[in-house]
Amino acid sequence: MTLAFDAILIATVLAVAGWTIAARETFAAVIGFVAYGLLLALVWVRLAAPDVALTEAAIGGGVTGVLLLGGAARLRGVVAAPDAWPAATLRLAAAALSATVAAALAAVVLLLPDPAPTLAPEALASLPATGLGNPVNGVLMAYRALDTLHEKVVLVLALIGVWSLAADRAWGGIPGQRRPTRRDDALVFLARLLPPVGIVIGVYLLWAGADEPGGAFQGGALLAAMWLLAMMAGLVTLPAVSSRWLRLALVAGPALFLAIGLAGFVIADAFLAYPEAWAKPLIIVIEIALVLSIAATLGLLVAGPPEQAPPR
Amino acid sequence: MADLLLAAAGFVLLMVALGLVRILRGPTVADRIMAAQLLGTGGIATLLLIAAATGMDAAIDVALALALLAAFASAAFAYGAADPDDPEADRG
Amino acid sequence: MSLDVFSLLAIAAGAFFFLAGTVGLLRFPDALTRLHALTKADNLGLGLVVLGLLPRVDWPLGALKLIVIWLVVLLAGATVGQLIARVARQARPSP
Amino acid sequence: MSALFGLAGAALVGLGLYGLIVHPEPLRKILAFNLLGSGVFLLFGVIARRGAAAGMGADPIPQALVITGIVVAFAGSALAVALLLRLHQISGRADLGADSAPPAGNGPT
């Protein structure tokens, strides 16, 4: 019975994925991509990875989908010239190459040992030292804390890259175009209804992340989605990127993470080490600061570079 | 009982898959926008049934997030599709 | 035992409404009627599935989550239905 | 059982790679790249699932890697979309056509 279910799920995922590649209109392809991201959440649940399912649904489907959608709306009417498509022979070669890569990966999947070598017992054994109950979060915040810190820095660097694309007159200004505010009552209603629920659920995911699936990324991505919804409805306006509190919110999470990591030299034995008795409260403090920074960074990455001159 | 729940999950997923194929083909933008809405109901029902069948309570949290995100995505689609061809699309 | 029967009946009824919704999607002639099939039938289907699963989750948090899920889907679905219907009305066949 | 998902991951990588090479529109390339990435993540997920041990449904280490990967992939996509829109704003073009093509000086229509 599980086999039949998985087969239906995989067939659907592959069909939608094929559609996003084959669709003629970009807008339609992006819709397919969002549907694909939401379906992948089901796949991750079947792979016993609810933390990843939450991340994939929130970031892979939701936020990336809106990012691509914004791009598609801005590029509407810009269609590649028919001669921009590669010649049939090249397409055939590309298809052959892709099929070869896929076949090689498939062979690897079939040949790899099952059960695979695992670090699960080690992760579980060191979990009590963090005071957390969710092994994935334990790995993210303790064992691989350095990678998680890097990732936060990557997010901020990407945002700096996006901002640096601003035109001169909009330098330090407000992200996105000024849209004529057509008030759409249904959208405004939704933007008043959903965010309070979304904020509660986002905070719940952050809180539950200590012991159950969830955490700063998932909570932050949900908060970002709610912020974007309120932006679309015109209920909130973005601050200028030169605003001091905005920049503070962006770096608060990574900065606190780094500070506590550096303090690890003194209060524990190494960089990013936590003293055992303090591990859980420290991790939760870091995560609370991170969730705000992640939500702000994700929302601003979708909003794009400043395009309106700063208020002065 | 678990098998029956799983069978129900498979059935609902099959319905979602058929609907999804129909909707994505269009012909209008409005048809396609319904994709997220369809996953917001059928996808969640599937997820909840799996959670019950396999005893994986965390899947309910995923369904909770999915409910919000499907509504968010549908709203974003409608917002993007309703966008009139901005004449000043390039100079802000 | 009787709870199991209740669950199964509710879930089977829910699955039937999903079937009805999909048949509507496949058979109805235009976007507005298809939207009708989708929002009405599937919301009811989800409601019945939630009802059937309520006795099977832990109280009170699990049940609360299920009810919140259904309420969010119901309220958001009604609103999003408005938005989609507007798109369907103003944008006739896509370019 | 997990092999089925692994094969799906391999197929997704192939699909994404094809779209990345063939599609002339950069936005579609970004989309295809995300598809390719999710296929790779799925392979990680299968390896994690096969590493189920110690009462856990899956090995947490690959799962943590995938979560990090999804976030970084998003950051990359956001930067790519911003670059593309800026290119369009400046040159009126949204393609990566041959360098010999004269830049459109008269702006977009």
- pLDDT tens, A156-165? 999 999 988 8
The Cα–Cα gap between B31 and B24 comes to 7
The Cα–Cα gap between D10 and A106 comes to 5
Structure confidence at residue C80 (pLDDT): 87
The Cα–Cα gap between C87 and B79 comes to 9
Helix/strand/coil percent split, chain B, to 5:
80, 0, 20
Residues 6 or more apart whose Cβ sits within 8 Å of residue A196:
none
Structure confidence at residue B48 (pLDDT): 93
Q: A22 CB near a chain B CB, below 8 Å?
A: no
Assess whether pLDDT exceeds 70 at residue D98.
Answer: no
Q: Of all residues in chain A, what percent carry a pLDDT higher than 90?
A: 19
Q: A23 CB near a chain C CB, below 8 Å?
A: no
The Cα–Cα gap between D86 and A99 comes to 34
- Is C71 part of a structural domain of the chain? yes
Distance set, CA B32 to CA B23, B77, D96, D99 (Å): 5, 9, 29, 36
Mean pLDDT check: name the lowest of A57-61, A111-115, B86-90, C8-12. B86-90
Q: A151: which 2 tokens? A: 């990732």
Chain D nearest C-alpha distance from A30 (Å): 8
B60-79 residues touching A, CB cutoff 8 A = 61-62, 64-66, 68-73, 75-79
Mean model confidence pLDDT for chain D: 83
Q: Is residue D15 very low, low, confident or very high in pLDDT (cuts 50, 70, 90)?
A: very high
Assess whether pLDDT exceeds 60 at residue A308.
Answer: yes
Q: B73 CB near a chain C CB, below 8 Å?
A: no
Q: D2 CB near a chain A CB, below 8 Å?
A: yes
Nearest to A132 by CA among A272, A10, A5, A284: A284
Q: D4: which 2 tokens? A: 């089925």
Mean pLDDT check: name the lowest of A3-17, A290-304, B74-88, D78-92. B74-88
Chain D nearest C-alpha distance from B90 (Å): 6
Chains B and C touch (3+ CB pairs under 8 A): yes
Q: A211 CB near a chain C CB, below 8 Å?
A: no
The Cα–Cα gap between B85 and A109 comes to 47
Structure confidence at residue C94 (pLDDT): 45
Distance set, CA A19 to CA B17, B24, D11, D32 (Å): 13, 8, 14, 11
The subunits that touch chain C, with at least 3 C-beta pairs less than 8 Å apart, are A, B
Assess whether pLDDT exceeds 60 at residue B87.
Answer: no
H-helix or E-strand spanning residue A128: helix A120-130
Of C18, C31, C76, the CB nearest to B42: C18
The Cα–Cα gap between D91 and D26 comes to 15
Q: B48 CB near a chain C CB, below 8 Å?
A: yes
- Is C46 part of a structural domain of the chain? yes
Chain D nearest C-alpha distance from A280 (Å): 18
Chain D nearest C-alpha distance from B89 (Å): 9
Q: A92 CB near a chain C CB, below 8 Å?
A: no
Calculate mean pLDDT across residues D7-24: 92
Mean pLDDT check: name the lowest of A178-187, A253-262, C72-81. A178-187
CB contact under 8 A, A194 and C72: yes
Answer for the pair A229, A195: CB distance below 8 angstroms, yes or no: yes
Most confident range (mean pLDDT) of A58-72, A77-91, A167-181 is A58-72
Please write the tens of the pLDDT for every residue from B40-85. Answer: 899 999 999 998 888 888 888 899 999 999 989 988 888 887 755 4
* Extents of the domains making up chain D: 2-91
Structure confidence at residue A178 (pLDDT): 65
- Backbone φ and ψ for D63, nearest 5 degrees, come out as -60, -45
Q: C73 CB near a chain B CB, below 8 Å?
A: yes
Structure confidence at residue B79 (pLDDT): 83
Q: B63: which 2 tokens? A: 């369904």
The Cα–Cα gap between A33 and D62 comes to 24
Chain A residues closer than 8 Å to B62 by CB = 41, 45, 50, 53-54, 57, 213
H-helix or E-strand spanning residue A288: helix A279-303
Number of domains in chain C: 1
Mean pLDDT check: name the lowest of A125-134, A299-308, D43-52. A125-134
Chain C nearest C-alpha distance from B59 (Å): 11
The Cα–Cα gap between B25 and B18 comes to 11
The Cα–Cα gap between A258 and A160 comes to 19
Structure confidence at residue C95 (pLDDT): 44
Chain B residues closer than 8 Å to A58 by CB = 65, 69
Structure confidence at residue B89 (pLDDT): 33
List the beta bridge partners of residue A122: none
Mean model confidence pLDDT for chain A: 84
Chain A residues closer than 8 Å to B26 by CB = 28
Q: pTM score, two decimals? A: 0.89
Residue bearing the bigger pLDDT, A300 or A181:
A300
Answer for the pair B64, C61: CB distance below 8 angstroms, yes or no: no
Calculate mean pLDDT across residues A230-243: 83
List, in sequence order, the alpha helices (H) in chain C: 2-27, 31-53, 61-90
The subunits that touch chain A, with at least 3 C-beta pairs less than 8 Å apart, are B, C, D
- Is C95 part of a structural domain of the chain? no
Residue of chain B nearest C63, judged by CA positions: B60
- CATH of the domain spanning D2-91, picked from 2.40.50.140, 1.10.3470.10, 3.30.200.20, 1.10.287.3510: 1.10.287.3510
